[in-house]
Structure 1
Amino acid sequence: MTQLKSDYVDDAEIDDELDDLPEDATIDAAVENLESRGFEVVVVDSSDDALETLQSHIPAGASVMNGHSTTLEEIGFDDYLSEGDHEWESLPAEIWSIDDDEERQAARRESQTAEYFLGGINAIAQTGELVAADRSGSRIGAYPFAAENVLIVSGVNKIVPTLEAALDRLEAVAYPLENERAQEAYGVESAIAKQLIFRRELEEGRTTVVLVREQLGY
């Protein structure tokens, strides 16, 4: 079942000021600074446009893996990967068909080197840094190096003025909502155990950030 931000926002206390939709000038500045740091950036108006962008970026026959992302669920990518009409190699389908726990965990580790790894982010500093965290690291482990190509999708509500504010957003918005989700989905609390500050992409064309002019994810 698709999980939406609204499923958790009423049960978790968050800092709404770090989750507002920014002005166009703020978005433009963030795009300019992201691009100056080596990230490819695509700005789209809607969730449907975001899904079409992902579809157009991934060639037929490519191996595709995704880390958990409420944003990917909200734009319909998870459903499309599992049920859609595409010619990709869906690594999640292969992984979760494995019965043996050790073999499945090994396959999850190997999937970090997918040709295309997709996921979300918890905050974007207007100055051009990306901030994300995870309990296990499976959601963000591919971002720095392992995956051949990385596609990150984010609502523009995650843009905040500075790196310090991005780290605050992680603590005051993303974590409370993810903690609620984890307790409902898995019966355990989440944790900011593995944290990534993605300051720069040095390999041209490797990492693309798709910014959606909607309030998505957390």
Structure 2
Amino acid sequence: MTPKETAYTIQAERVIGEMKRRNFEAFYCPTKEDALKKAISLIEKGSVVGSGGSATIKEIGLLDYVMSHPEDYTYVDRSLAKNDQEAREYHAKNILSDYYLMSSNAFTADGQLINIDGNGNRVSCLCFGPKHVIIVVSMNKMCADVEDAYRRIRQDACPPNALRLNLDTPCAKTGYCAECTSTSSICASFVTTRMSRYPGRIKVILVGEPLGF
């Protein structure tokens, strides 16, 4: 292993211990291929599966896998919504799903999950609703503490995400957070998940390769 791979393995072992203390079920996978296999093993066949538009979930191939196996999973495809009302209805289906797939914008060395959201659909499912939440997050998103995590998200994740979504926000133009209150802002809700009241509901797969934003 390279020095970075060795460091990630050591760091992940500690973080997994911290996450288990917070009632998260946590795993470490060195590669995205390993992460895909682990995620699939966690999803019971016959389940209703939703997702939160995660670049990471797409990058490891999990979304494609679920969508290409309709005989095993019922996927809540929110991209099919034709208007705001239908989007609300798909979100309601996600809330009632068996498994919700997402990433986390960051996590702390002591095992907390840190997320910023625009519409709030992703963080709302993390907080309440789906029976299980599977989070796939790369080790390069680990931060020293909550303050450092929010700083990382606002500078390293939000500007490229705004560009990816073709949003008309200041950060999409300058590459820097401007504390905007634009209706296009993807920084409406700041959510720190410090623990789960329901042991094992939130399952975190840490990955030793850079993924997402």
TM-score by length of 2: 0.83
Distance 1:23 1:148, change over 3 A: closer
- Partner in structure 2 of residue 90 of structure 1: 75
For 1:145, the equivalent position in structure 2 comes to: 128
User: Which position in structure 2 is the counterpart of 1:124?
Assistant: 107
Q: Tell me the residue number matched to 2:89.
A: 106
Q: Which runs of 5+ in 2 are unaligned?
A: 170-184
Aligned-pair CA distance for 1:61: 0.8
Q: Does 1:214 align with 2:209?
A: yes
Q: Does 1:170 align with 2:153?
A: yes
Where does residue 194 of structure 1 map in the other structure?
189
CA-based RMSD: 2.0
How many residues get paired?
194
Matches within 5 A, 1:56-71: 56-71=41-56
Q: Following TM superposition, by how much is the alpha carbon of 1:157 offset from its aligned partner in structure 2, in angstroms? A: 0.5
Query: How far is 1:99 from its partner?
Result: 4.5
Q: 2-side partners of 1:135 and 1:172: how far apart?
A: 15
The alignment-based identity, stated in percent, is 27
Q: Deviations over 1:162-184 (max 9, x none)?
A: 1221111111211122111121x
* Deviation readout 1:130-189 (Å, 9 max, x if unpaired): 001111112221011111110000011111111221111111211122111121xxx444
> How far off its partner does 1:86 sit?
5.2
CA distance in 2, matches of 1:77, 1:123: 20
| Pairing partner for 1:203 from 175, 198, 203 | 198
Is the Cα–Cα contact under 8 Å of residues 138 and 206 in structure 2 kept in the other structure? Answer: yes
Are residues 1:26 and 2:11 paired? yes
- Write out the 4+ residue segments of structure 1 that deviate beyond 6 Å after TM superposition: none
User: How many angstroms does 1:23 deviate by?
Assistant: 4.4
Q: Which amino acid aligns with 2:195?
A: R
Q: Can you list the C-alpha shifts for 1:20-75, whole angstroms capped at 9, x where unaligned?
A: 98644332222211111111001111111111111111111100000011111110
SS in 2 for 1:139: helix
SS where residue 29 of structure 1 aligns? helix
Pick 1 or 2: higher relative contact order, CA cutoff 8 A, min separation 6: 1
Distance across 1 between alignment mates of 2:189 and 2:72: 33
1:8 alignment counterpart: none
Give the Cα separation in 2 of the matches to 1:192 and 1:96.
21
Task: Select which of 30, 37, 59 maps to 1:52.
Answer: 37
Q: Residue 181 and residue 43 in structure 1: after superposition, are their counterparts in 2 closer, same or farther (change >3 A)?
A: same
- 1:182 touches 1:188 (CA, 8 Å); kept in 2? no
Query: Helix, strand or coil for the counterpart of 2:205?
Result: strand
TM-score norm. by structure 1 comes to 0.81
Partner Cα separation in structure 2 for residue 82 and residue 205 of structure 1 = 25
Corresponding residue number in structure 1 for 2:182: none
Q: Which amino acid aligns with 1:192?
A: C
Distance 1:132 1:86, change over 3 A: farther
In the alignment, the residues of structure 1 paired with residue 168 and residue 36 of structure 2 have an alpha-carbon distance, to the nearest angstrom, of 31
**Residue type at the aligned position of 2:141:** K
* Equivalent residue number for residue 76 of structure 1: 61
